[in-house]
Structure 1
Amino acid sequence: MKYKRLTKEQFEELHVEFSNFLATQSIDKKEWDTIKANKPEIAEQELDVFSDLIWEGVLKNTHYLEHFSKNHIFLFHCQEKLIQSIVLKSLDTTIDFMNKEGLQWLSDNMFTEQVEIHLGKKEYETLRNESIFKLITEGAILSDGQLYLQINGIIQS
């Protein structure tokens, strides 16, 4: 398995896609039930292959990630060959970016000495999708990029 198996809830949400996936292998519901009952190792392999296919599609289409922690916000722009980052750090350790008040504080203090802003870019050390998946497993979430673009626009002007 290249990534990680989808959760039960994710499989439930993707049940139509999973049925179509099985159908491409000429496996109908009756045969799937037989495989699950009599050949659980084959069923496990099918779940793993489907999970990897879903992850590949998601990762291929990922362009922005965000990772919030108490005193840091990491914003990533995932391009084809490299990843760009904006890291915001509060020097006031009482500020918590995990709540609304902390984000309001950041908005009010973005360009003061209380906030460090670091820009970076780096070529992927491994394959693009594997690098993005690693960031997700470390706590990053998919993003529409609005925050990255907004802050990048302010910094660049």
Structure 2
Amino acid sequence: MKYRQLTKEQFESLHHEFAQFLATQKIDVNEWNNIKETNPKLAEEELNLFSDLVWEDVLSKIEYLEHFSKNSINLFKTEEESISRIVVQVHKEVDLLSKEGYEWLLKNPKDDSVEYFKGNKEYQTNRNEELFDLIEKGSQISKGELFEYFNRLTS
């Protein structure tokens, strides 16, 4: 397995897609129920294969990621061969995880307590695997508004 198995909730939300996946392998609902009962190892392999396909599709479409902590925000813009990163670091008693702290930053982006770092690096392994690792560490997929805002502000 390349990534991780989808959660029960994720499988439930993708029920129709999973049924189509099984159908491409000529497995109908009765046969699937039989496989689950008589060959749980094969059933697990099918779930893992489907999970990898879903993750691969999702990861290949990601353009931006963001990760918030109490005093910093990591913003990522993904390209085919490299990833750009903007780190927004606040050296003040401001909690960026709170609505008030986040709003303070947006109103005071040039405050002396706010520091910016920018960088770009080529992927060390595989693009999607590196993005998956960022997600597993707490990053969220975003539309990129914050990245582009801070990129303009720091250019």
Instruction: Determine if the TM-score, normalized by the shorter chain, exceeds 0.5.
Output: yes
Whole-Å Cα distance in 2 between the matches of residues 32 and 71 of structure 1? 49
User: Letter of the aligned partner of 1:18 in structure 2?
Assistant: F
The percentage of counterpart residues that share the same residue type is: 50
Whole-Å Cα distance in 1 between the matches of residues 3 and 89 of structure 2? 30
User: Is residue 4 of structure 2 the alignment partner of residue 4 of structure 1?
Assistant: yes
Structure 1 gap ranges (5+):
none
Structure 2 gap ranges (5+):
none
Identify the residue that residue 58 of structure 2 maps to in structure 1: 58
Identify the residue that residue 105 of structure 2 maps to in structure 1: 106
User: Letter of the aligned partner of 2:131 in structure 1?
Assistant: I
Give 1:108 deviation, angstroms: 2.4
User: Is residue 26 of structure 2 the alignment partner of residue 23 of structure 1?
Assistant: no
Q: Deviations over 1:45-79 (max 9, x none)?
A: 00000000000000000010000000010000010
User: Letter of the aligned partner of 2:100 in structure 1?
Assistant: E
Alignment root-mean-square deviation, CA:
0.7
Whole-Å Cα distance in 2 between the matches of residues 108 and 48 of structure 1? 45
Whole-Å Cα distance in 2 between the matches of residues 3 and 28 of structure 1? 26
Matches within 5 A, 1:75-86: 75-86=75-86
User: Letter of the aligned partner of 2:113 in structure 1?
Assistant: Q
TM-score by length of 1: 0.97
Whole-Å Cα distance in 2 between the matches of residues 32 and 105 of structure 1? 53
Identify the residue that residue 137 of structure 1 maps to in structure 2: 136
Give 1:109 deviation, angstroms: 2.1
Alignment size in residue pairs? 155
Whole-Å Cα distance in 1 between the matches of residues 26 and 85 of structure 2? 45
Give 1:113 deviation, angstroms: 1.2
Matches within 5 A, 1:86-97: 86-92=86-92, 94-97=93-96
TM-score by length of 2: 0.98
Identify the residue that residue 124 of structure 1 maps to in structure 2: 123
